[in-house]
Amino acid sequence: MASSPSAMGIGCLASNPEIFVIAEPHWLVFNWRSRALYEIVSLLMTLLGQRSLNAYVQFCLRLGSCKVTDEGNFLARKLVLTGQGKQWITQFDDIDQGTAILLANSLTLISHTEFRRELEKLVLGAAADVEGPIALFAVRELPKFSPEESWMMPQVLPLYSCASLSEDGRSISSVGATADLGSEAIIAHMIRQLARGNPAKFINHPTLNEMRDRGCRAVFVVDDFVGSGGRVRSFLDSLWLEPTLKSWWSTKLIRFNVLAYSATDHGTRSLQRLKCSPAICVHRDATSFETLPLSLEKKELIRKLCRDYGARVFKRRKNMWFGYKQGMCSIVFEHGCPNNTPAILWDMKDGTPNWTGLFPHRAISSEIASVFPLEIGRGDSVATLMDIGQTKLAKSGALSRTGETGQVILLVLSLIAKGHRKRATICFATGLSTKDCERIIERCIKWKFLTPQRRLTPRGLAELDAARKFRAQSQTSVDRGSDYYYPQQLRPTTC
């Protein structure tokens, strides 16, 4: 492994399985769960000294006895401990291995369970606002034709002209006529289950006649991830080319909705410009390495790593060094790695120099899939505060003295104080969904911690200042003493 894992904030399991040590270059922060654990750690620091304890942490890392500090997206730190992850790390020069670990640690890993559960909730929540049946479609790549003019871009065909009908003629194929199926297969299965569970509400890939007979009032197109927005845009364009659907939309008989587990800002904006004006529902905003709650120095190191090794290994694919359309996305699904992520994560190259990605050909092996968390939770708040420069607040211990909501609010205020106002950044740091993140921000605005423009108010600044000045009080109990108390006077009894 790299010689500088301590700079990455990787959690290491000490002798007690409940003690999590977060090592940094010149300081140590301990995340304790009780006073007893804190005293054990204090004793270790007294006996070993900070330098020796730092050396012990790095020694544990080299032995592989590492443990994640918290759940959620920070479980990505286990990636570099797998055999595949170690092989990927060794391809970097020694001086760059620390940055490569940081790159892998910053990924958000979405498991099958998390993806299916939250996307289904999203569909059911959006369906509650529609009175009438809903047509569900899984987004997929559609065939295109090239116009006679060479200067024109390939155009999509109307959906029903390139889809095969079912035997009863009431639905169309949910996937393409190929063995190379992507996320559309998983989403198509989810749609099938929804339609079976509530056939009066959901229609599984219906034909136009079926939509007319059932009185359909909305068209939901469902995808896993909206990166550049190209695939969803092409699918909606193919629906828009159907004159019947266009007529129903113009008379306000139907509406279009796009539902995705995650989406980038760029992809969302590109869909908002479509003629059908779709409503866009996303469970979690997608972060990129440009919007992560990291210092500018670390962000530049990650970008330099992708550029240098992209130029070294993938000379002829310069457009993919930072991902498709320079996406630099940091989200990976268990069913596949998006091509918007940097090429050094998934691309393959034979010859000299050869290269094996962490997710070869964007596929997820069983070994890598084992580290995907069942659900996304909040990571180590102390490490996040240190990364964004809130050192005093991280060391004050104020987070350990507040409840769950109080910790999230302090973290949100700290991020905004350092200029991290994007919702995607806040979602990554707190582990919240888009909906929950908006709810927390609205609560901060209601309490006058933030302005509607997501800027700190004097009250919000005062809250942060008070948290920075917080010091844990002594837990020593008052001496009870040994003397017994005998009352000397008694009030007279009354009849």
184-221: pLDDT as tens digits? 899 999 999 999 999 999 999 999 999 999 999 999 99
138 pLDDT tier (thresholds 50, 70, 90): very high
Assess whether pLDDT exceeds 90 at residue 120. yes
Q: Is 232 exposed, middle or buried (0-12, 13-18, 19+ CB in 10 A)?
A: buried
pLDDT over threshold 90, residue 479: no
| Alpha carbons 426 and 429: distance in angstroms, whole number | 5
Nearest Cα to 394, choosing from 376, 416, 410?
410
pLDDT tens digits, one per residue of 264-323: 999 999 999 999 999 999 999 998 999 999 989 999 999 999 999 999 888 888 889 999
DSSP per residue, 334-350: TTB--TTS-HHHH-EE-
Backbone torsions φ then ψ of 261, nearest 5 degrees? -65, -45
pLDDT of residue 169: 84
The pTM is what?
0.78
CA atoms within 13 A on the CB side of 311: 5
Q: Is the dihedral of CA 47, 52, 58, 62 positive or negative?
A: negative
How large is the average pLDDT for residues 459-485? 74
User: pLDDT band at residue 470, thresholds of 50, 70 and 90?
Assistant: confident
* pLDDT tens readout for residues 330-381: 999 999 999 999 999 998 876 657 889 999 999 999 999 999 998 888 778 8
Q: Determine whether 323 is exposed, middle or buried from the number of CB atoms within 10 Å of its CB (0-12, 13-18, 19+).
A: buried
Confirm if 202 and 120 have CB atoms less than 8 A apart.
no
| Single-letter amino acid code for the residue at 334 | E
Rounded Cα distance between 246 and 239, Å, is 8
Distance of CA 208 to the CA centre of its chain: 37
